[in-house]
Amino acid sequence: MTSTFEHAATSHLAEAISAAHATYRSARPRSAELDTQARVVMPGGNTRSVLDFAPFPFRVASADGSRLTDIDGHTYVDFCGNYTAGLLGHSSTTIRDAVVEALGSGFAIGATHEREITLATLVCQRFASIDQVRFTNSGTEANLMAIGTALHHTGRSGVGVFDHAYHGGVLSFGHGEQLNVPHRFVVGQFNTFEGLDTLFTDDDLGCVVVEAVQGSGGCRPASESFMTELQRRCDETGTVLILDEVMTSRLSPGGAQQLYDLSPGMTTLGKYLGGGMSFGAFGGRADIMANFDAAQGGELTQAGTFNNNVASMAAGIATLTHELDDKVLAEVNDRGDALRVALDQTFAATDLPLSVTGRGSMLCVHAEHDQWLELYFHAMLEAGNYVARRGFIALSFSITDADTTKLVDDTRSWAASVIQ
């Protein structure tokens, strides 16, 4: 049966979106001007495609705590949280001071130093399955290195992944696959045993890369039985389980592997663990990581000019030492759970075709038709809430209960206005 709102979607949605764009545009002349300039020198006017949206993205002038202020003077509560990298909010003096102090003793160093040992020790202590770790500049790079390492270690060729997974700009399995690296990927359905069958019928599967909660894929949590069975089949077949914890490591002190009681052969990290600086890491079992240790017969080398860069190392140490308090982490995840339930109930109380999924501080608003998300996104911007265009929300430590209550209230008001 076609609901009232599906009918409205076909007849009035385009009109409502045009009106929202016009309102947005007229209030942001400086961002519009910069967008024109940007498009001359950067294709599409940006250097990170996910940040673009219609009619043009606002340009940030400053960020403070949980707030972003654009160059036209609009302030937004930052619910996007730099797609989970901004867990600490925008004003951590701990991180700033640590970076400034580190930069004071030189920062373009092409030699080893002590900070990388400190950070590696902290990472190994925090994540139970990581015996040894290496650093990279991004989560993408961490996954590329982990996959290459696992294939070398097993001498096999297949890389198991799941539909809608996102493991980086060149490891994308739901959208924008054109730039993917040419590994022999075997793609199974996420969170189903049939999906596991698809992967494990391959007779040369070297590794499986998986997120316990698909982040960019829409904040969809895997069931415990799926993850447990995946671990079991990896163990049984000598396939390296690579747990991509670039986003999910924020879900508990020991990451999703603690929540799901997993022991992956390898884990990849990134985002907030670098305190907001460029960061990535891959680590795992000592026998796998030994492939990088010539003294143990390892044949692999890892390159990367900025792998141990002073700013990221210092910010990572400060994050792990001073910022990631277990209680604060539990609070942000509880706040996310409460927000997800409240938003979902708000949508359910209307006939609107929107819903919310997620776990802890990572959540995502879904819509049957993308136009509903476009309308919701612009309505939230006008109300002073920056939710990612695709509905993604990642709470930071700076977001308060008052902020989440405001988002729910603004969502309710918007829903009431569209169903009138």
Ligand X SMILES: Cc1ncc(COP(=O)(O)O)c(C=O)c1O
Residues that bind ligand X (CB under 6 A): 83, 138-140, 143, 166-168, 211, 215-216, 244, 246-247, 270, 280
Residue found by looking up tokens 């925090």 in the block: 126
Instruction: Name the residue with tokens 């996910």.
Output: 50
Q: Which is nearer to ligand X, 386 or 392 (CB)?
A: 392
Residue closest to ligand X (Cβ): 139
How many other β-carbons are positioned within 10 Å of the β-carbon of residue 95? 24
Give least dist CB 11 to ligand X, A.
36
Closer of 70 and 244 to ligand X (Cβ): 244
Least separation in angstroms between CB 51 and ligand X:
12
**Is there a contact between 19 and 64 (Cβ–Cβ < 8 Å)?**
no
Residue 388 CB, nearest approach to ligand X (Å): 11
- Nearer to ligand X (CB atom), residue 150 or residue 415: 150
The distance between the two most distant Cα atoms of the chain, rounded to a whole number of Å, is 71
Q: Which is nearer to ligand X, 132 or 140 (CB)?
A: 140
Query: What is the closest distance, in whole angstroms, from the C-beta atom of residue 274 to ligand X in the complex?
Result: 9
Distance CA 69, CA 393 (A): 18
3-class state of residue 362 by DSSP:
strand
Whole-angstrom distance, CA of residue 158 vs CA of residue 151: 8
Identity of the amino acid at 232: R
Minimum distance of ligand X from residue 280's CB (angstroms): 6
CA angle centred on 274, ends 270 and 278, rounded to 5°? 75
- Residue 20 or 332 having the CB closest to ligand X: 332
- Give the residue with the Cβ less far from ligand X, 241 or 379: 241
Closest to 95 (Cα-Cα) out of 277, 333, 306, 281? 277
> What DSSP string runs through 2-40?
--HHHHHHHHHHHHHHHHHHHHHHHT-HHHHHHHHHHHH
Smallest distance from the beta carbon of 306 to ligand X, in angstroms? 13
